[in-house]
Chains A and B, each alone.
Chain A
Amino acid sequence: MPVITPRKTLTDYDAIIVGSGAAGGMSAYVLSKAGLKVLMLEAGRNYDPITETPMFETPKDAPLRGAPTPDKHFGYFDSTVQGGWSVPNEPYMVRRSDQPGWHEATDINHHGTKQNFMWWRPRMLGGRTNHWGRIALRMGPYDFKPKARDGLGLDWPINYEDLAPWYDQTEALIGVYGSNEGLENTPDSSPGVLQPPPKPRGYELLIKRGAGKLGIPVVPSHQAILTRAINGRAACFYATDCGRGCSIKANFQSTTVLIPPAVETGNLDVITDAMVREVTIDKTGKATGVHYVDKATGQDLHAKARVVILSASGCESARILLNSKSALFPNGLANTSGKIGRYLMDSVGTGVSGHIPAMESCPPHNEDGASAMHMYIPWWQYKEQLAGKLGFARGYHVELGGGRRMPTMSNPAPEKLTGGSYGRQFKEDARRYYGSHVSLTGRGEMIPNEKSFCEIHPEVKDKWGIPVLRFHWEWSEHEIKQAAHMQKTFVEIIEAMGGKPDAPAETDGAKAILAGGTIIHEVGTTCMGFTKNDSVVNQWCQTWDVPNLFVTDSGPFVSNADKNPTLSILALAMRSCSHLAEEMKKGSVG
């Protein structure tokens, strides 16, 4: 297996890629396979899922049974390294509902946070692909042209058809299970691309029946998890939580699927603990490389290349550009449009859980499955919405959870159900109620707006001396009403299953909706557009101002469909970098 390269750079590269997650991994994979010499710089440490993933460890093998703490915000076994809702010594600034002014983000629980924005960052090779939810949904035709359809938000300069072949190639490369259902704006993959989905779990079938009574479809989810072995990667063995990472490489992580084959080409160097502060340019305004801090020594170093590709995540790439000021670009590099940082979006998120009596005292059976969901609810009311019947413009999908999953640090027999039992009765109650809950979690589209953006804080710097971001955030009525609709619908589904929601539906959408950034689907901030006046990059993720500078992460997104963004980041990076490789061979870029 490839070894991470020594901490020194060649004198020159064809391309520097900043970041190693979905975008950085795919960019490196495509360019190094095309024979270009590539340097990847990652702000976090080296990380090896093969040796580091705690696959079969049980809660008993963790401190505090693995419960979340201020050190590990999603629990001990979550793969995230040295990060989460805050990263030590690398602050970001937010508004708080309980105090005026700007504050360093410190909340570690996204439920009930008073922050206007939550920003999840790991500091590790592979970034968030190590712990992500593996939900791999394609954006559909409407999602690329939302403004043309309902007059709101922004259109992409590309169509679904432009990206469809790259979705096929991406899915085949990373491995995605799912099915083709022919549903509206929920695209089918080309024949033979998807892997077969696992059989539904019992509670998923119950939800399907309950939702079916309301005319709501429940179909196989699309997940970046192998059900058939490919490329030296094992198929899922239906145990252990994907969020820990996967030592058998059954799910998609940049560190198991993209970076190793890229390193094997001999064309990719990787330097970890390298925090990029600035993209450098020559006097003609052409990018020449990047300045980065070697975190191990604190030294400020420079790496040179013909092309610079930012894949540091939507907001982090915007931060680097805004911090790259020069006489030619006094407002930040490639920012003559003034759009860098603008149109920051996340997904709308809210959920309902409920107790289902039919699931009590179920005969023991293994319901772990592929860790992630096998079934989900795609958005089903496109026609009603377009006709203006719903009061909000965009859709959501529903993620299903519940059943007899690994018991962790929680009480299987809540006091609410037992009436306060203890002793032998409590043990009977635990056997009865364990596994009798379901959760319905909504993920909805947010429309970009002028009030949600990030910018550089004028004074605050991180420990490396790099100015930090501050976040402005506002939901529109569309998102707030959508959240209320989720609550109402989820309670209806639980009731249609003969169950009882754990709490009544929250009819006030503003209370139901989680804070911006919470869903960790932040996109936008380096928007893609039709002209250099209204956008930062063109359809190839190439900045208008600096032709040898690219942004291949979620920054170029100008809509944020309910479909989780990772698959689209991967497909877009693959398309952009395939184009770039051709152009570099022709000598027209770099």
Chain B
Amino acid sequence: MTITPTPLTRREAVQRMFAAAAALALIDATTYGAPYTGDPNLHTKAVTWDRILTKDELKMVTVLCDTIIPADDKSPAASAVGIPDFIDEWVSAPYPTQVADRDKLRAGLAWLDEEATKRFQKKFADLDEGQIKAICDDICHAPKAKPEFKKAASFFSKFRDLTAGGFYSTPEGWKDLGYVGNVPLAEFPGPPPEVLKHLGLA
């Protein structure tokens, strides 16, 4: 079917503004930018809001991303595929989930700097690998974290989910995991013999 596109009428433009306003009812639009509304062009990446993280915050995010996903022989580090910028995109978005994550992230980053200063008299981004590990080991698993680290552990868990979600949804992440789909096939072959064997079905 051929689409006969009609230009956005003033009325439609006003409607979209209303829709956007409704979605933003509880949010300060001047701070958060606009949502992409319910009918974006799906062939475009409609990031309709500005990034809000500061330079210092981005620096810490980069260190933490690469602590969680460093380079190894199978794939690059998280920062090499733009994950710090993705996290900035995520926490800058004008939607409730992302706004909540932004608050959690900023509080978590602030805690990391305080903790780094307390333990090593340095900003978190300036710590060496061993010092970073010393802090992360205390906050990397909420169920086993000491009471004073529970809140930081909850932040770390969220941050790891964002980093992993961002990284493993890139072509590099797919390759690392061995996701080989999203390519057209003439026929679906079913699991190959080595898979049947692996699953105990051969």
Which residues on A sit within 8 Å (CB–CB) of B173?
Answer: 407
Partner of A64, one of B93, B164, B192: B93
The reply to whether the CB of A259 lies closer than 8 angstroms to some CB of chain B is yes
Partner of A63, one of B15, B46, B165, B177: B46
Do A406 and B3 touch across chains, with their CB atoms under 8 A apart?
Answer: no
The reply to whether the CB of B130 lies closer than 8 angstroms to some CB of chain A is no
How many chain A residues sit at the interface, stated as a range, is 35 or more
- Taking A3-B1, A4-B1, A422-B140 as contacts, is the C-beta distance between A71 and B178 under 8 angstroms? no
Query: How far does the Cβ of B72 sit from chain A's closest Cβ, in whole Å?
Result: 6
Which residues on B sit within 8 Å (CB–CB) of A62?
Answer: 42, 45
Which residues on B sit within 8 Å (CB–CB) of A157?
Answer: none
Which residues on B sit within 8 Å (CB–CB) of A426?
Answer: 68-69, 160, 164
- What total count of A-B pairs have CB within 8 Å? 246
- Taking A69-B35, A71-B36, A362-B195 as contacts, is the C-beta distance between A430 and B168 under 8 angstroms? yes
Query: How far does the Cβ of B146 sit from chain A's closest Cβ, in whole Å?
Result: 13
Do A431 and B169 touch across chains, with their CB atoms under 8 A apart?
Answer: no
Which residues on B sit within 8 Å (CB–CB) of A64?
Answer: 89-90, 93, 98
Identify 11 residue pairs between A and B in the complex whose beta-carbon atoms are under 8 Å apart, listed by A's number: A59-B169, A63-B47, A76-B42, A81-B38, A206-B201, A244-B42, A407-B177, A408-B165, A420-B140, A422-B160, A424-B70
Do A199 and B181 touch across chains, with their CB atoms under 8 A apart?
Answer: no
The reply to whether the CB of B19 lies closer than 8 angstroms to some CB of chain A is yes
Do B141 and A363 touch across chains, with their CB atoms under 8 A apart?
Answer: no
- CA–CA, A52 to B183, complex, Å? 19
- Taking A206-B199, A405-B181, A412-B177 as contacts, is the C-beta distance between A60 and B171 under 8 angstroms? yes
Do A431 and B184 touch across chains, with their CB atoms under 8 A apart?
Answer: no
Query: How far does the Cβ of B202 sit from chain A's closest Cβ, in whole Å?
Result: 11
- Which residues of B are interface residues toward A (Cβ below 8 A)? 1-4, 6, 9, 11-12, 15, 18-19, 22-23, 35-40, 42-43, 45-48, 67-70, 72, 74-75, 86, 89-90, 93, 95-98, 136, 140-142, 144, 157, 160-161, 164-166, 168-171, 173-174, 176-192, 194-196, 198-201
Which residues on A sit within 8 Å (CB–CB) of B9?
Answer: 296
Do A70 and B95 touch across chains, with their CB atoms under 8 A apart?
Answer: yes
Query: How far does the Cβ of A25 sit from chain B's closest Cβ, in whole Å?
Result: 12
Do A202 and B178 touch across chains, with their CB atoms under 8 A apart?
Answer: no
- CA–CA, A579 to B148, complex, Å? 73
B-contact bits for A127-164, CB 8 A (1 contact / 0 none): 00000000000000000000000000000000000000
Which residues on A sit within 8 Å (CB–CB) of B12?
Answer: 296
Q: Of all chain B residues, which has the CB nearest A367?
A: B181
Which residues on B sit within 8 Å (CB–CB) of A419?
Answer: 141, 144
The reply to whether the CB of A291 lies closer than 8 angstroms to some CB of chain B is no
- Taking A57-B43, A64-B93, A88-B18 as contacts, is the C-beta distance between A198 and B1 under 8 angstroms? no
- CA–CA, A150 to B41, complex, Å? 50
- CA–CA, A60 to B89, complex, Å? 12
Do B38 and A88 touch across chains, with their CB atoms under 8 A apart?
Answer: yes
Of the listed stretches A42-50, A316-324, A384-392, chain B binds A42-50
- CA–CA, A39 to B42, complex, Å? 29
Which residues on B sit within 8 Å (CB–CB) of A46?
Answer: 3-4
Q: Of all chain A residues, which has the CB nearest B139?
A: A420
Q: Of all chain B residues, which has the CB nearest A270?
A: B1
Which residues on B sit within 8 Å (CB–CB) of A367?
Answer: 181, 191
B-contact bits for A64-92, CB 8 A (1 contact / 0 none): 11010111100011000111100011000
